Amino acid sequence: MEKILQSLTDALNPKCDRRTFLKTSAALAGTATVGGLLLKEKTAVAGHAGAVPDTVDSDKYAILYSTCQMCHGRCGLMATIDKTTGALLKLDGNPYNAQNMDPDEQVPFATDPAANVSQSGHPYDGKAVKTIRGRMCPRGQAGIQSIYNPYRLTSPVKRVGPRGSGRWQPISWATAISEIATQIDTLIPFATRNSDNISTLSELGKIANGLVVSPGRSIEGQIWERIFKLGYGTANWRLDHTSICEESHHIACMMASSGTSTSGKKHFHADHAESKYVVIIGANPLEANFAMVPLARGIVNMKKNGGKLVVVDPRFSPTASKADLWLPIKPGTEGAFAMGLASYIIDNKLTGTVRETYLKNASKAAATADNEPTYCDATWLVITASDTATDVGKFLSPSLLTGTGLTTERYTWASSAISTAFDPTSTSVSAEGELTPGEVVPDPTNKPNLKCKTVFELYKAEVTKKSTAEWATVCGLTAAQLSTVGEGLTDSANGRKTAIWSYRGAVQHANGTTNELCIQSVVTLIGNVDYRGGMTGAAGGSDENKTSGVDSSDLKKFGTGLTPLSPTGPRLDRAGNDYHTYTNLVASDGYPASRPWFPFASLGNFQEVIPGIQDQYPYPVKVLITYWNAFPYSVPALKKVFEETASDETLLPLFVAIDPIIGENSAWADYILPDTTYLEKWSIPHGGNAGSLVKNEPIQQPVVGRLDGNIIGSVAFDPNATNAYVSFLGANGPKMAIDIVRDLAAALKRTDGSTGLMGVGPNAFADDGSFDRAWDLAKRLLGNFAANASSTITEVCAKGGSFMAQDQAYTDGPTATTIVTTGSYISKNARFGGARRLYIEPLVTTKSWYDGNSYFTFGVPRWEAAQHLDGTTIDDGTGYPFRLITYKSVHHGQARTHVNPWLMGLQPENWIEVSATDAETLGVSDGDFLRMYSVSNPDGTRGKVKVRQGLRPGVVAVSHHFGHWEGGARPQALEFNEDVPSANYAYLNSAKSEAWRGSGLTANPTMRADKLFPNVTVQDRLGGSCAFNDTQVALVKVSL
Amino acid sequence: MAQGGWNLDLTRCVGCSACAVSCKSENNTMPSTTDKNMEQLTVRYSRNVQVNYREVLSEETGTYPNLVKKYISMACNHCANPACLAACPVGAITKESTTTGKGLVQIDQDKCIGCRYCESACPYGAPQYNEWTRKVEKCTGCKHRLDAGLLPACATTCVGKALNWTDDFQLSDGHGTVPTNFADPALTHPSIIFTT
C-alpha cells in the first residue's frame, strides 16, 4: 500500500515541539512566576523504547474536562495535566460527552469523576472514570501544540514601523490598554459618542458606530454584547465570520423551518446511525464537517446496519469512499440536483403515497391526527392576482381576504371551496387541503380579481420547468442517477428512515441560498423530519442566558440605576439590514445602492467589513478591533483590498488585534493583544450540534495556567474563590479575551467623563456584583447554565458540561413526552415539531437595494446559476476553463492548524489537484508546478500538481489551511524596551521563521471578485455567504 | 495471560489518523519530544525523520468515476513468529511469554546497535529508525498502559471504533478478511484479525 506518511524533508521542525517549547519557556528567567514548573515530567520505563511514554500513575496527573475548539465541532475534551508542573500531557475526548462516545460506552452523567463506573454490561464497568478516555479526532489531540506554540506572543506588542512592516515593540498590558483607550476616546470623542450623528443622515446612527468589533469566531458572545453594544453603544459590536463558513445554509434552513431568515432551525441533519438511506451533498463528515467525531461513528454505524450512503461531490472525498454511490456533480448545481429529485418524486412517488398525505396536513392538529410529527405549508393559499398589486405573492390571510382579522391565519382549498381561516400552529383545528386545485377565486362575489394558488402548485411549477433528465443534464449527471436517488429516498422498504443534507459544497456559492432552499424542499417532500432514522434539527442544550426564571443573572442587564444602551443605525456590513429602512439614504443614494445590503443575512457578512471600511460606506470607521480573525487569509479575494485598506491610516485610524500569534490579520494592526487559547479560557461554546439527539452541552474552562496562584489541576476548583487567572506564560503573558475586553472597557470613559464603561467594575451585573475579572462573568454564565441543566457549577466544571444519556433519543408518538428506546420518533429533546416551509414570503415582500424590486415574485425555491450582484451569471468564458473548488482535509480543517507539527506531519503541504484527464491535456504529472489565475487575479498563485482520478474533469480542487505567510512563516522584528525583557521572546526576538509553516498554497487570493463591486468576492445576495466555489481559473505549467 | 493483539474493522476505519496522533502524544515519539537539532538532521539526511509507531496508510484505485479508496491503520502486530526478532544480531528484540505476559515484542534500547536489520525484516513497517538515538524503536503495545489495566492509546481514541485491542488473541481464529497487499500472515503470524 502507498504510504500517505511520506518523507518529511524540511517540512517539519521539532523546534515547535512541546518539550522544546516548555524548556524554552522554563528558561525564560527566574522572574517568570511559572519558572521550572513547566517541564513535562518523564518517567522512564526501563528498556523498551527510545521514547518515554506518559505516566500511568494516576496520583501524578489530574483530569480536567472542557471543550475542544480545534474545529467548531465542540466535542468534549479530557485534559491530562501533570499535577506538579501544570503541563498539559495529553488531550482525549470527554467520556461523559455523547459526541465522544457511543451510547453503550458513554460514562453516565451521575457518575462521580473520582469514582468508578458502576453499570453492569458497560465496557468500563468497575474502571475509574479518571482512566477512561473518550474518542477524539487527530486535530483535537494535536491541540497541545496550539498551547505550546513557540510563536505565541508572550506580551502585548505595539507597531513601531509602518503597518505590516513586521517591526514591533513588546509593551506591558498597562501601557497597551491605557494607550488604546486614550486613542479610542480621542478618535471617537467620548462625551458625544452616543449623541453626535455619524453621518449627515441621522438615521445611520451615532458616532459610536465608528468603533467596529469583529470577532471572526467567538464563543464569548456575551462579552462583546455587554461591553460594545450595551456599554459603548456601537451597532458594530460583533461582526463575525459565519458568511465565510456556511451562512447561506443556516439562512435557508431557518427559512425552511420558520418562513423567515431570523428564526427557526439552522441545521437539519440525518439521524445517521438509524437511517436506511442518506444523501450528503457537498459535505464531508469524515473530514471537516462538524462534529467529525460523532458524525464518523454515525456514518460507519449506518453502514454496519446496512444503510446506503450517497455522496454528491465533485471530489472523491473520504466520505465518498464510504459511499454506495458517488455522484461527481458540476459545482454550483446542487440546487438543480435537488430540483431533479423533486421532479422525480412528484412525477413518480407522490400520488397515493404517505408523502401526499403528509403534504396535505396544513396544521399541527392535522399532522398529529395522522401521527405525523411535522406538517407543512404546501396547501396554504398564496395570492397570485389581486387589484392590490402589492398583495401578490403574499399568503392569503383573513386580513387580505376580508380587510379585517389576523394576518397570521391561513386558508386551504378543497372540494371547490375555500376552508375557514385557521391558525396553522393550532393543536385543535385540523386543517387540510388539496395540493393542486389550480388557480382559485376565494371570493368571486366581492373580490372577483383576487386569485390564489397553493404553495405546492407554485413550487411544482418551478420544479417542472425542466424534466428530471434536463435537471440531470444541468448537474452533469444522468436521469438514471437521479431516479436511483429519488427511489432510494422514497423506497417504502426504507420507511421514514431516509435523509438528505448538505453543507459548504452546496452553499458557499453566490447561489448558495437558492441551492439550499431547493435541497430543503426535498427534505419537506420526503417528510421525514423528527422520524427515527430520518432527520433532526438537533437537541441543543442548556442556555447561559436568562431563560425561564431558574437562572440567577440576566446578563443583558447592568446594576441598579444603569440602563444598557441601544445602538441605532445599520451595521457596517449591512447584514440583516434592509436598505429601505433608511429612507433618506435611499433618497440620496438611489439604485443600485453604493454598496450591497443583505436584509436576509441575519448572521452577518464578514466579507463586507473591510470593503465597507475602504469605501466608508455606509459611514466612515475610526477604530477596528478584531479577535480570532483572519480577514486577508480566510476571505476570498480580500488580501489585496485588506492590505490597501489597512495601510491607509485615514481610512482606518486605529487597528487593534486580539490574537495569540502574529497572524495574517494582526500583522497589520497597531497593537496586538495576545489572548489565551481555547485550553485557557471559560465559555459556554454551545455544542450539541450535528444531529445530536439528546441534550449534550459542554462547557469550556481553563486547563492550563494558574487560578489565584495555584496550578490548575493541583487543587480542587472552587467556584466561590476569586479565581484570578494567570497564563503559564506569566503575568504579562496572554490573557483571556474576556479579561482583555473587560480591562479595555474599564479604561474607556463614560459619556459623563468618568472612567470605566457601564457593565464593568462595581455594580456591573444585574445582581449589583462587580466585574473585575473573567471569572466574575464566567461564574454567572455557568450559574445560569447549571441552573438550566438542574446541576451546579461545581458539577458541570467537574464533568465538563451537562450530558444526557443517548438512550433519551426516541419516543413512541409524534407528541409523546415519554422516552422509549424502541420508539419510531425523535424524542422531545431534539424534536422540531413545527411547520416545514416551501414558501418564503419575505423573499417577495422585501425589496432589493439593487433596483427596488422584490427579490422573488413568488417565494418558492427555484434554481438559478451563480450570479454577480448585478444579476448577471458568472461566466468568464473559455479562457478560464476550470472551475475551482475548495475543501478541508481531516488532518487540518481550519486555517490555524499549520501551527500543529503533528498535523503538518500527517499532511505537510497541499496541491493544485487536477483530474487525470485534465492533467493529460495540460501535460503535467505529480510534482510539476502550475500557475492558477483568474480574471480577478491575473498573477494568481503557484502550486504543486496532484493528479487525481477522483475528481470531476474540468474541476480544480485546492484544500484550505495551507499557504500561510504569517504565524511564523516569515520573520517579525522585535525591538525591546525595559518593560518587557527580550528573554521572553526566545523565538521571535531573533526574527525567526520556518518555511514549513507557510507550505503549500491558498486559493483564496485568486478567487473571483464581484463585477459590480470589484473590492469584494462574489457572494450570495440572499444568505450572505461568500463564494469559495464559483471561480473560473486558467492553469499553465510553470517551473518553480 | 494470553497473546494480546489488534482487532481491526476496516469498514469502520475512516482514515483520519486519530490513532497515529494519539500514539505520538502518548509515547512522545520523535520528533515531538526531541531537544536535539532536527534542522541539522533534516539537511543531512533529507528523508523521513519522524518516528511513528502507528501510521494510517491509504490506497486509491480505479479510474474516474469508478474508484475505491481503502485505509488501514498499522503498527507492530506483536507476531507469534517475529521476523524482527530473528533478524536482530545482538538479541535486543524479545517476545514476552504468553503465559506470564501478553506476548508483546519489544526492542531493548540498551542493546540495540541501530543496524536496522529488523526494519528490513518486518513485513509491516513496524520498526522505526530514530535518527537522534541512532537506534530502532517501535510500537510497545502501550505496555505501560496494558500493565496498568488500560487499553493502548490508539484503541481508546478511534473515532469509528475500527481499531480495538484484545487481551486474548487466538491465532487459531485466523486473521479474518486480510486486505490486499497485506503480507502473508503465514510468514510471521501477526496478532491481528480483520473483522467486517
Query: In sequence order, what DSSP letters do the residues of A598-655 get, joined into one string?
Result: BTT-TT--GGGHHHHHHHT-SS---EEEEES--HHHHSTT-HHHHHHHHT-TTT-SEE
Question: Residue A334 has which C-alpha cell?
Answer: 446542487
Q: Which amino acid is at A568?
A: T
Alpha carbon of B99: minimum distance to chain A alpha carbons (Å): 20
pLDDT of A146 higher than 50: yes
Q: How confident is the model at residue A979 (pLDDT cuts 50, 70, 90)?
A: confident
Euclidean distance between CA atoms A955 and A333, whole angstroms: 13
Contact A182, A204 (CB under 8 A): no
pLDDT digits (tens, 9 = 90+) for A308-341: 999 999 999 999 999 999 999 999 999 999 999 9
Euclidean distance between CA atoms A943 and A955, whole angstroms: 16
Sign of the C-alpha dihedral, residues A466, A469, A470, A471? positive
Mean local confidence (pLDDT), A987-997: 72
**Minimum Cα–Cα distance from B133: chain A residue:** A50
Interface probe with B: pick from A1, A25, A82, A926, most Cβ of B within 10 Å: A1
The per-residue pLDDT for B43 is 38
Distance separating the N- and C-terminal Cα atoms of chain B: 27
Alpha carbon of A949: minimum distance to chain B alpha carbons (Å): 5
The per-residue pLDDT for A689 is 67
Contact B34 A13 (CB under 8 A): no
- Out of A810-814, A1020-1024, B150-154, pick the least confident: A810-814
Point out the residue among B25, B35, B133 whose CB comes nearest to the CB of A90: B25
Alpha carbon of B172: minimum distance to chain A alpha carbons (Å): 25
Distance separating the N- and C-terminal Cα atoms of chain A: 30
Sorted by sequence, the CB contacts under 8 Å of residue A25 that are 6+ apart come out as A32, A34, A38, A728, A729, A986
Contact list, B55 vs chain A (CB under 8 Å): 3-5
Alpha carbon of A12: minimum distance to chain B alpha carbons (Å): 9
Torsion, CA B47, CA A894, CA A213, CA A173, rounded to 10: -40
Size of interface A-B (CB pairs under 8 A): 243
Contact list, A890 vs chain B (CB under 8 Å): 14-17
pLDDT digits (tens, 9 = 90+) for A497-515: 999 999 999 999 999 999 9
The per-residue pLDDT for A11 is 27
Contact A92 B65 (CB under 8 A): no
Single out the residue of A837, A836, A842, A835 nearest to residue A858, CA to CA. Answer: A842
Euclidean distance between CA atoms A961 and A825, whole angstroms: 40
Question: Residue A882 has which C-alpha cell?
Answer: 476550470
Sorted by sequence, the CB contacts under 8 Å of residue A793 that are 6+ apart come out as A719, A779, A782, A783, A786
Euclidean distance between CA atoms A431 and A367, whole angstroms: 9
Contact A135 B181 (CB under 8 A): no
Sorted by sequence, the CB contacts under 8 Å of residue A367 that are 6+ apart come out as A358, A361, A373, A374, A375, A814
The per-residue pLDDT for B47 is 40
**Minimum Cα–Cα distance from A292: chain B residue:** B159
**3-state SS assignment for residue A906:** helix
Interface probe with B: pick from A38, A54, A91, A904, most Cβ of B within 10 Å: A54
The per-residue pLDDT for A129 is 98
Point out the residue among B31, B140, B150 whose CB comes nearest to the CB of A12: B31
Interface probe with A: pick from B9, B10, B25, most Cβ of A within 10 Å: B25
Contact A935, A875 (CB under 8 A): no
The per-residue pLDDT for A547 is 59
* CB atoms closer than 10 angstroms to residue A330: 18
Euclidean distance between CA atoms A880 and A784, whole angstroms: 55
Single out the residue of A329, A476, A505, A334 nearest to residue A865, CA to CA. Answer: A334
Contact list, A93 vs chain B (CB under 8 Å): 157
pLDDT of A737 higher than 90: yes
- Cell 398589486 sits on residue: A389
The per-residue pLDDT for A23 is 35
Contact A45 B106 (CB under 8 A): no
**Minimum Cα–Cα distance from A148: chain B residue:** B32
Express as a percent the part of chain B with pLDDT over 70.
90
Contact list, A97 vs chain B (CB under 8 Å): none
Express as a percent the part of chain A with pLDDT over 90.
83
The per-residue pLDDT for A551 is 59
Point out the residue among B17, B125, B160 whose CB comes nearest to the CB of A138: B17
Mean local confidence (pLDDT), A454-481: 98
Contact list, A40 vs chain B (CB under 8 Å): 33
Alpha carbon of B193: minimum distance to chain A alpha carbons (Å): 18
Contact B16 A137 (CB under 8 A): yes
pLDDT digits (tens, 9 = 90+) for B64-103: 999 999 999 999 999 999 999 999 999 999 999 999 999 9
- Out of A291-295, A531-535, A972-976, A1027-1031, pick the least confident: A972-976
The per-residue pLDDT for A539 is 72
pLDDT digits (tens, 9 = 90+) for A863-906: 999 999 999 999 999 999 999 999 999 998 788 888 888 888 88
Mean local confidence (pLDDT), A121-132: 97
Contact list, B134 vs chain A (CB under 8 Å): none
**3-state SS assignment for residue A937:** coil
- pTM (two decimals): 0.94
Contact list, B47 vs chain A (CB under 8 Å): 7, 9
Euclidean distance between CA atoms A642 and A611, whole angstroms: 8
Question: Residue A43 has which C-alpha cell?
Answer: 518517567
Contact list, A952 vs chain B (CB under 8 Å): 64-65
Mean local confidence (pLDDT), B103-114: 95
**Minimum Cα–Cα distance from A58: chain B residue:** B148
pLDDT digits (tens, 9 = 90+) for A164-200: 999 999 999 999 999 999 999 999 999 999 999 999 9
The per-residue pLDDT for A907 is 83
**Minimum Cα–Cα distance from A44: chain B residue:** B144
**Minimum Cα–Cα distance from B135: chain A residue:** A50
The per-residue pLDDT for A45 is 28
pLDDT of A568 higher than 80: yes
Point out the residue among A1, A20, A299 whose CB comes nearest to the CB of B35: A20
Q: Considering chain A, what is the average pLDDT of its residues?
A: 92
pLDDT digits (tens, 9 = 90+) for A214-234: 999 888 889 999 999 999 999
Contact A147, A25 (CB under 8 A): no
Point out the residue among B28, B69, B145 whose CB comes nearest to the CB of A56: B145
Euclidean distance between CA atoms A825 and B98, whole angstroms: 50
Contact A49 B60 (CB under 8 A): no
Single out the residue of A268, A333, A317 nearest to residue A466, CA to CA. Answer: A333
Q: How confident is the model at residue A620 (pLDDT cuts 50, 70, 90)?
A: very high
* CB atoms closer than 10 angstroms to residue A186: 12
Strand partners, A432: A361
Contact A981, A32 (CB under 8 A): no
Mean local confidence (pLDDT), A722-737: 95
Alpha carbon of A318: minimum distance to chain B alpha carbons (Å): 7
Contact list, A907 vs chain B (CB under 8 Å): none
A112 Rama class: left (phi>0) / alpha (psi -120 to 50) / beta = beta
Is this complex scored with an ipTM above 0.90?
yes
Contact A53 B157 (CB under 8 A): no
Indicate the burial class of A75 (C-beta count within 10 angstroms; 0-12, 13-18, 19 or more): buried
> What DSSP string runs through A89-132?
EEEEE-TTSTTTS-TTTSPPTTS-TTSB---TT-TTTTSBGGGP
Which carries the bigger pLDDT value, residue A145 or residue A570? Answer: A570
Q: How confident is the model at residue A394 (pLDDT cuts 50, 70, 90)?
A: very high
Contact list, B52 vs chain A (CB under 8 Å): 5
The per-residue pLDDT for A432 is 97
Point out the residue among B32, B50, B132 whose CB comes nearest to the CB of A18: B32
pLDDT digits (tens, 9 = 90+) for A37-67: 222 222 222 233 357 888 899 999 999 999 9
Q: What angle do CA A875, A589, A195 make, to 5 degrees?
A: 125
The per-residue pLDDT for B1 is 79
Interface probe with B: pick from A100, A148, A902, most Cβ of B within 10 Å: A902
The per-residue pLDDT for A703 is 98
Contact list, A91 vs chain B (CB under 8 Å): 25
Pure H helices in A188-237: 221-224
Alpha carbon of B68: minimum distance to chain A alpha carbons (Å): 6
Cα dist from A432 to A353, A357, A360, A414, A418, whole Å: 16, 9, 5, 8, 11
Can you say how many angstroms the Cα of residue B15 is from the centroid of all Cα atoms in its chain? 16
The per-residue pLDDT for A984 is 65
Mean local confidence (pLDDT), B145-164: 97
pLDDT digits (tens, 9 = 90+) for A769-803: 999 999 999 999 999 999 888 899 999 999 999 99
pLDDT of A109 higher than 80: yes
Euclidean distance between CA atoms A528 and A459, whole angstroms: 19
Single out the residue of A66, A22, A38, A59 nearest to residue A800, CA to CA. Answer: A66
The values of phi and psi at residue A532, to 5°, are -60, 130
Euclidean distance between CA atoms B193 and B190, whole angstroms: 9
Contact A138 B20 (CB under 8 A): yes
Q: Which residues of A768-786 are buried (b: 16+ CB within 10 A; e: fewer)?
A: ebebbbbbbbbbbbbbbbb
Contact list, B62 vs chain A (CB under 8 Å): 949
The per-residue pLDDT for A968 is 86
Question: Residue A908 has which C-alpha cell?
Answer: 505537510
**Minimum Cα–Cα distance from B123: chain A residue:** A1
pLDDT of A307 higher than 50: yes
Express as a percent the part of chain A with pLDDT over 70.
92
Indicate the burial class of A370 (C-beta count within 10 angstroms; 0-12, 13-18, 19 or more): middle
Instruction: Please state at what angle helix A737-747 crosses helix A173-187, rounded to 10 degrees.
Output: 50
Q: How confident is the model at residue A20 (pLDDT cuts 50, 70, 90)?
A: very low
Instruction: Please state at what angle helix A334-348 crosses helix A479-490, rounded to 10 degrees.
Output: 60
Alpha carbons within 13 angstroms on the beta-carbon side of residue A640 total 16
